[in-house]
Structure 1
């Protein structure tokens, strides 16, 4: 007999504790989860003519390593792995265990959610299904309905408690479908004595159009509030303005100076005056009716906040939560970042923040939103060794990289070489049409780049008497991989992408290597080209003083030439949408670019973007669905060569970059 959900709760909590304990035990190990910095973002909306002050400030920050100062973070990837990385810390950033004052989460609780992304391109709109990684995450969350959802949430709540400081709080934003079950689990994890309060957020007045159906219209959600240690937690009492009705009825008197007041009896026969201008207002209660959903905002106000993200919450809601539970410079985390409202509000209130999301569209929206509001510099990071963690989940914690390489070779249709010629178990061979092809599977621990390509070419030419061709299969790639392939100009070299969802597919019941063989497609890469970058000396003028500055400057002019998406088949589109995509690719390839940035002094390790542009940037006039194709900006003069890196992210989240080394110019 199938157990009821109430009967399953103890098992769900027990399994969640075991999962969390395994993660906590691994934090001291050699192979702990880490974060890879993809970009050190120094926000600069493209205004075409950035003034010298902004340029100088950004240049000062270029001299800093992000690890030397606190840096807010936007993290792409599974939030469970992000929590593990933040708890573990690394050589640059200490563990955040016990350092967080507020965690706000708004986990999706609609099992019927579609999660499709609508992508507007010039003249067409595409509908993209979730990436396979996202699909598996969502399907795992709802495989067994609410039980799966609670199983997903439980270990995460345990790790969140580890991150909270002794004065910290957790705010769970949840709907009525699962709020009672989530509260039961949170009571178990945090302790009932640490339950602070439940707030009912009544977000709008139901309209006639929403009254369809056979049940009362839903017009509220809940905020479940827990303290790490009740009584020690930060609580800043808030007051709301008196209603007009209350003022008319209570503050009925006016003194000789025109001040409104009321007289009230404190004790029998003892009266005092209460002046309106000295009154704080009505203490904040557990029912919030004054904060409305975005759709209820005035059109102009809504446009100022709206990002196009379906479940976006209004900034006023997060302002109240943050102001009530944190202090200036408190650290705030949001592990279901969505549209980035938590980070955006924390930034405005001068709090430190970290936000994460599994969806690339969400991360792109958040990055643009933060740049658009002129945020302080922040890191854009991804989960390091994601494929290794996925392999441990699919193949067991004792798996070896060689095991994974053998699986990939088998799925590609290659037979492994003999052990004496294949000590890493990552080389295989195929024979077709009389041509011998060597196949090399790169490690999931590495970013496949030019060093791997040179090694593959050397093995092709020398191993076992030589081969006609070599194919490199990689998991993760250096953004400049397209440029490296072009520079090698070797027609006997092919580089393909291992499907990022491969391990998730192997983990699913019923799937086997034999079943997947022939179904798995290895796709090619995308690449970017730019015109020769111009480096020119320029005079620097101070807008404040109207005088030429003594500091020397130079000007960089960057022009995009072309963007080629080589593997549209890897994008999760139906045939009609794929046809639309091909039309745009042929007609206007640069329209596929969602975001691009320039690092004028790329060190090969951390990409520091001092200039960015993105679709929808209100500082330019190229239209909502295009980026500008040129960047013109000034930077402090530098003696010697300049290594400029241009990086783009397309509308599907793929990245590519180009590096040009520029000769010195005379000031």
Structure 2
């Protein structure tokens, strides 16, 4: 007989503690999870009339990284001196929030990233709960709309979250809440936004994790006006959700009392008198026989209660005047809600975190209110929406980061904690049809051979915990030419790639080198029993995507202090459509767009005019939906024209593009003073 969820709760909490404890114990090890900085975003969306050089904020941000994004000395724009200490940088993190929190707790002293244990003032989370959702992403392209199934990262998380209904949901949530408690400052608090389906269970586990004595309050958010059109069967109309509020240390937590304006009726009923200057007031007995006047214009209003009825859903008719908030994200919350949460529980210049970032409302509001922020999400579409939203709001410069070693952590969860990288390499070689080389010639267990038609091919399976780049390709070529008497060709199988991998392949110009992509859903497919045998002969390793640009122009004008750069996109070749989670009909529609208009696949692109080969600093951006450049919501502007401070000698200009499926491509060129490529 199956046990009730109530009976399972103690075990769920115990297992969650074990997961969290393992992570906390690993923080001091050399194998701890890290963050890869993919982009240092200095928002300057394509708008010809706006010149980022004249924006003091961006200039200051560039000066702040003169000493290096992570503290090492490297040249940057201008001649400003390096700061005495590494400044705070807001962060948008792509990847599993459990791993993101582990990285934040550990910190990275060599890179200048401090450990944030006890460093966050407010955490707001809105963990999604809907086990029936299929999590498909709609991708709109000119003349066609596609439906994409989740990526391997998203599939992995969703499968685990909903494998056993609410119990699995709580299994996911418990270790994350424990790590969040570790991140909270002594005066910090957490606001858990939750629906009625699981609010009572979440309250029970949160009492256990944070301590019942640290329960602060429960807010009822009545977000809309009930209507018969939303009623379902014999149920009453759902019109509210909950905010569960816990302090790290009750009584020491930061709290600012908030007030609501008086209603007109309240004013008419109570502030009934007017003085000689026309000021409304009411007379109240302060103590027996003693009165004083309470003036309306000096009154703060009605103290905020635990039932909020004045903040409505974003897409309700009440929000017609706030269309600028809408991102198209299904579960997007109104900014007014987060504004109230942040103002109530986060001090000025405090740090706010949201580990289920979604559409980025928390980060956008924190930015507007002058708070520092960290946000993360597992979905690439969510991260693209957040990055665009923050750029559109002219946010302060922020880092876009990704989890290091995510595929490795996923593999451990799929294949067991005793998994070794060589085990997965052996699986890749088998699925590719390669025979492993003898152990004495193959100590890393990542080399195999294929002999067909008299052609001897060496197969190199790269590690899932690194980015395949130029160094790996050169190593593979050296082994092709020297190992066991040499081979006719070499194939490199990679999981994750440096954005400039296409440029690296072109630079090698070796027809006997082929680079292929491991299917993004492979780990998910390997989780099924006996899947390896069934997958043989059915796994497709796809070709890489790459970006091409036209000649870059660098022009000097009358102003000797500045110069103009002109950069144009020329072509984009998408990762083979077979590697994207589409059905046959959607894949055919995608192929038609690829053939007809390849640049329509670009979702976002940016330019770094002085790329150092390590950290991409984008000082110009355009993206689909930005109407300032060309007024076309489904296409990006294909040419960037902007000014930068003049500098002697050549510049290394780097262009990075992200397509509608989240794949990145990069190309960089060295440009003379009046040069092209």
TM range (shorter): over 0.9
- Whether 1:228 and 2:237 are equivalent positions in the alignment is no
Distance 1:511 1:333 in 2: 41
Q: How does 1:496-511 map to 2 (within 5 A)?
A: 496-506=516-526, 508-511=527-530
The structural deviation recorded for 1:40 is 0.2
- 1:553 aligned residue (557, 562, 565): 562
**Alpha carbons of structure 1 residues 529 and 200: separation in structure 2 relative to 1, 3 Å:** same
Which residue of structure 1 lines up, in the alignment, with residue 17 of structure 2? Answer: 17
Contact (CA 8 Å) 1:538, 1:552: kept in 2 or not?
no
Contact (CA 8 Å) 2:425, 2:446: kept in 1 or not?
yes
Contact (CA 8 Å) 2:260, 2:301: kept in 1 or not?
yes
- 2:593 aligned residue (573, 580, 584): 584
Segments of 4+ moved more than 4 angstroms = 297-300
Secondary structure of the structure 2 residue equivalent to 1:521? coil
Distance 2:521 2:87 in 1: 35
Which residue of structure 1 lines up, in the alignment, with residue 3 of structure 2? Answer: 3
Q: How does 1:135-534 map to 2 (within 5 A)?
A: 135-298=155-318, 300-506=320-526, 508-534=527-553
Count of matched residue positions in the alignment of Structure 1 and Structure 2: 655
Distance 1:181 1:629 in 2: 51
Distance 2:437 2:507 in 1: 29
The structural deviation recorded for 1:433 is 2.3
Which residue of structure 1 lines up, in the alignment, with residue 579 of structure 2? Answer: 570
- 2:144 aligned residue (115, 124, 137): 124
Secondary structure of the structure 1 residue equivalent to 2:450? strand
Which residue of structure 1 lines up, in the alignment, with residue 626 of structure 2? Answer: 617
The structural deviation recorded for 1:375 is 0.2
Post-superposition Cα deviations, 1:366-414, rounded to whole Å, max 9, x if no partner, equal: 0000000000000000000112222322333343322221222122221
Secondary structure of the structure 1 residue equivalent to 2:28? coil
Distance 2:607 2:632 in 1: 21
Distance 1:593 1:367 in 2: 15
**Alpha carbons of structure 1 residues 235 and 60: separation in structure 2 relative to 1, 3 Å:** closer
Which residue of structure 2 lines up, in the alignment, with residue 630 of structure 1? Answer: 639
Secondary structure of the structure 2 residue equivalent to 1:295? coil
Q: Report which stretch shifted further, 449-458 or 254-263.
A: 449-458
Q: Report which stretch shifted further, 259-268 or 607-616.
A: 259-268
Post-superposition Cα deviations, 1:501-537, rounded to whole Å, max 9, x if no partner, equal: 333433x342443233233322111011001100111
The structural deviation recorded for 1:89 is 0.5
Which residue of structure 1 lines up, in the alignment, with residue 48 of structure 2? Answer: 48
Distance 1:458 1:268 in 2: 95
Distance 1:574 1:216 in 2: 38
Structure 1 alignment gaps of length 5 or more? 541-550
- Whether 1:85 and 2:103 are equivalent positions in the alignment is yes
**Alpha carbons of structure 1 residues 479 and 52: separation in structure 2 relative to 1, 3 Å:** closer
Under a length normalisation based on structure 1, what TM-score does the superposition of the two structures give? Answer: 0.96
Distance 1:301 1:112 in 2: 33
Post-superposition Cα deviations, 1:292-342, rounded to whole Å, max 9, x if no partner, equal: 111225565332100000000000000000000011111111000000000
Distance 1:211 1:388 in 2: 46
Distance 1:460 1:617 in 2: 47
Contact (CA 8 Å) 1:295, 1:302: kept in 2 or not?
no
- Whether 1:95 and 2:98 are equivalent positions in the alignment is no
Distance 2:255 2:505 in 1: 57
Contact (CA 8 Å) 2:313, 2:319: kept in 1 or not?
no
**Alpha carbons of structure 1 residues 28 and 52: separation in structure 2 relative to 1, 3 Å:** closer
Contact (CA 8 Å) 1:505, 1:511: kept in 2 or not?
no
The structural deviation recorded for 1:78 is 0.4
Contact (CA 8 Å) 1:62, 1:608: kept in 2 or not?
no
Which residue of structure 2 lines up, in the alignment, with residue 543 of structure 1? Answer: none
Contact (CA 8 Å) 1:174, 1:221: kept in 2 or not?
yes
Distance 2:99 2:593 in 1: 36
Q: Report which stretch shifted further, 360-369 or 290-299.
A: 290-299
Contact (CA 8 Å) 2:461, 2:493: kept in 1 or not?
yes
The structural deviation recorded for 1:260 is 0.8
Distance 2:558 2:259 in 1: 53
Distance 1:349 1:74 in 2: 17
Distance 1:175 1:521 in 2: 41
Which residue of structure 1 lines up, in the alignment, with residue 663 of structure 2? Answer: 654
Contact (CA 8 Å) 1:599, 1:611: kept in 2 or not?
yes
Distance 1:111 1:344 in 2: 28
The structural deviation recorded for 1:183 is 0.2
- 2:127 aligned residue (101, 104, 107): 107
Post-superposition Cα deviations, 1:255-280, rounded to whole Å, max 9, x if no partner, equal: 11111111223344433322111111
Q: Report which stretch shifted further, 292-301 or 203-212.
A: 292-301
Contact (CA 8 Å) 2:36, 2:401: kept in 1 or not?
yes
- 1:75 aligned residue (93, 108, 121): 93
Distance 1:512 1:27 in 2: 34
Contact (CA 8 Å) 1:55, 1:635: kept in 2 or not?
no
Contact (CA 8 Å) 1:40, 1:379: kept in 2 or not?
yes
Secondary structure of the structure 2 residue equivalent to 1:329? coil
- Whether 1:66 and 2:75 are equivalent positions in the alignment is no
Distance 1:575 1:330 in 2: 49
Distance 1:278 1:562 in 2: 63
Q: Report which stretch shifted further, 52-61 or 584-593.
A: 52-61
Q: Report which stretch shifted further, 396-405 or 251-260.
A: 396-405
Which residue of structure 1 lines up, in the alignment, with residue 80 of structure 2? Answer: none
